Amino acid sequence: SQTIHQWPATLVQPVGSPLSLECTVEGTSNPNLYWYRQAAGRGLQLLFYSVGIGQISSEVPQNLSASRPQDRQFILSSKKLLLSDSGFYLCAWSPKGLGTEAFFGQGTRLTVV
Amino acid sequence: SQQGEEDPQALSIQEGENATMNCSYKTSINNLQWYRQNSGRGLVHLILIRSNEREKHSGRLRVTLDTSKKSSSLLITASRAADTASYFCATGSILTGGGNKLTFGTGTQLKVEL
């Protein structure tokens, strides 16, 4: 069966520090991968998605970047965090093909102080 | 940007009652999905309805889709305290390279009281 791992679960970082959140998927190959951010009490905002290794699409201009160095690894990064980067970050994967559901990790609560 | 808007934003009912949540969206879709999120956790997929379907059932869940009105509803029958969570609709559109790009709404917070 497929599983998705996302870590860390919580993170407190000072303004101006770098960020690296990692997500890995097991039990499937060539998945579509996604990073979402959820502000408190709000819906999910799609940040990045990837349909293959090295292929990254950005949905919104921001202080963050994403990379996919391996088929089942998706990394969210920042060189210098801003206060506004605080939020709940969720990684997800979906199979290729039309009308597929997404499977989410447990999320990372990031607080920038 | 948010594609879907759920209504109501919050809903409080008694155990055993039915809960209905509505979702409206703006653009053409391939499919619409409903997800559940327990507080501080990831989302769990509940049900998917395709653009050529009008109604779908799964256990105590019933979803309808009206593409002419760009709206969907999620009905949870005989609710239980364990159904307390936030519920999100998500519209799916085709990604170049295959797969689904999901755009989520703002969610409905459901509280089921004993």
Pairs of residues, one from chain A and one from chain B, whose beta carbons lie less than 8 Å apart: 85
* B9 contact A CB<8A: no
B8-18 pLDDT, tens per residue? 999 999 999 99
Q: Which of B2, B30, B43 sits opposite A104 (nearest CB)?
A: B43
User: Measured on CA atoms in the order B105, B79, B53, A35, is the torsion positive or negative?
Assistant: positive
Instruction: Return the percentage of chain B with pLDDT > 70, whole number.
Output: 94
Q: Specify which residues B109 forms β-bridges with.
A: B10, B86
When pLDDT is averaged across residues B47-51 and rounded to a whole number, the result is: 94
- Whole-number pLDDT of residue B1: 44
Residues of B in contact with A103 (CB under 8 A): 45
- At B44, the pLDDT band (50, 70, 90 cuts) reads very high
**Gap between the Cα atoms of B106 and A44, Å rounded:** 7
3-class DSSP state of B83: helix
Tell if the CB–CB gap between A106 and B41 is shorter than 8 Å.
yes
Tell if the CB–CB gap between A51 and B99 is shorter than 8 Å.
yes
- Whole-number pLDDT of residue A36: 94
3-class DSSP state of A76: strand
Closest-CA residue of chain B to A52:
B97
- Whole-number pLDDT of residue A33: 95
When pLDDT is averaged across residues B53-58 and rounded to a whole number, the result is: 97
- Whole-number pLDDT of residue B3: 61
* A109 contact B CB<8A: yes
- At B92, the pLDDT band (50, 70, 90 cuts) reads confident
- At B42, the pLDDT band (50, 70, 90 cuts) reads very high
Residue A2, min C-alpha distance to chain B (Å) = 14
Residue of A98, A109, A110, A111 to mutate, interface with B, max B Cβ within 10 Å: A98
* A96 contact B CB<8A: yes
Residues of B in contact with A94 (CB under 8 A): 99-100, 102
When pLDDT is averaged across residues B22-35 and rounded to a whole number, the result is: 92
Closest-CA residue of chain A to B97:
A51
Residue whose pair of structure tokens reads 């559901």 in the numeric block: A101
Structure tokens at B6: 């759920």
Q: What string of pLDDT tens digits covers the 113 residues of chain A?
A: 889 999 999 999 999 999 999 999 999 999 999 999 998 777 889 899 999 999 999 887 778 999 999 999 999 999 999 999 999 999 999 988 777 889 999 999 999 99
- At B29, the pLDDT band (50, 70, 90 cuts) reads confident
Tell if the CB–CB gap between A104 and B31 is shorter than 8 Å.
no
- Whole-number pLDDT of residue B95: 73
Assess whether pLDDT exceeds 80 at residue B110.
yes
Non-local CB neighbours of B12 within 8 Å, separated by 6+ positions: B110, B111, B112, B113
* A11 contact B CB<8A: no
Q: Which of A46, A104, A107 sits opposite B103 (nearest CB)?
A: A46
